[in-house]
Amino acid sequence: MVAPMSLAECGKDTLLRCSFSPPHHSPSDLVIHWLKGGSNGDEITIYTFYHDQEHWNLVSAEFINRTWCPNITQSPGNCSLLLRDVRVTDSGTYRVFIKPISENVEAFTLLQVTAPYSQPLIRVSTFCSDNNSAHHVLTCSVTGGYPAGNVQWHTALGEDRTAEAKTTNVTSADGLIGIVSQLNITASTNQTYTCSVSNPLLPTQHHVSKTLPDDPCSQTFSTTVMVTIGLVCSLSLMAVLCVLGWLLVSRRQTPCTTLNEDEHRGHPELSPLTEQGDTHNVAYTRDKGSIEVSWLIYG
């Protein structure tokens, strides 16, 4: 008479099917009650029909205008319940009570609510340790599913790494679940990892893969070495240029013997080499054996 179990998707409508042998009397004598079991063993009324009409004043507030038996009058013997806009909280056991003239009938059905998870997203974060080895963190995340899903990690070689992952479920205000799963990997490059997410009530399984990048830590180390070498070379070149500049300045500031005309007259052995207009800019030579000594006089 009643299906023992029904599966409904969150946000959509579902039909709890129920039928019985129609009585041979007026429909105004028919009594139908649909009730939902609570967590404490109590029941709440979600739909009631008697005296040939519905009675919403007896229905729990969360089910008002969400339940309806569309075939009571058109199809005698059919008291299937239409539940609109299914919510996570609608999961549970339902009881239908029917009272024809001759006997009372009741039956139970289980409603399971499900919601498909989003397509998983995966990202990788890489950190470099003190010894320049790479440490990767793969994060796989999905949202909007129900009930709690299963997350698995595999390598491209088929290795199961699920046991090494840390998986956390986060429940939103509407009861839907988001999942975040993190897998820590050390010193593994160019390896492909696949995150698979499944809903236990749905056949579809989602997959997403990520290939780890080349070792960025060794590249960082090489870059650091090259920058250090370049810096050392630059500093060395600057030091050499400073020394050369100091030598040139020191050489130009070396004192020369300056002779005025009176001194020249007192040293006839000096003879002018060149004269460039200013009488003070005169170069002289002194013959001293086989050595020629020159003085350059700066004006």
Q: What is the pLDDT at residue 22? A: 67
- How do residues 232-261 score in pLDDT, each as one tens digit? 566 666 766 676 666 676 666 555 444 444
CATH architecture group of domain 121-214 = Sandwich (2.60)
Contact (CB, 8 A) for 106 and 97: yes
What's the pLDDT score for residue 48?
A: 94
Return d(Cα 213, Cα 119) in angstroms, integer: 23
pLDDT digits (tens, 9 = 90+) for 148-171: 999 999 999 899 999 999 999 999
**Tokens 């004269």 -> residue:** 275
Could you say which residues of the chain have pLDDT below 70? 22-27, 101-103, 130, 187-189, 215-216, 218-237, 239-241, 243-247, 249-299
Cβ of 242: how many Cβ atoms within 10 Å? 10
In this prediction, residue 163 carries a pLDDT of 96
Tell me what pLDDT residue 225 has. 46
Q: What is the pLDDT of residue 256?
A: 45
- The domain segmentation of the chain, as residue ranges, is 5-114, 121-214, 219-251, 261-296
| pLDDT of amino acid 19 | 84
Name the strand (E) or helix (H) holding 229. helix 216-252
- Would you say the CATH fold of 121-214 matches that of 5-114? yes
Q: The pTM is what?
A: 0.67
Domain 5-114: which CATH number of 1.10.10.10, 3.40.50.80, 2.60.40.10, 1.10.150.80: 2.60.40.10
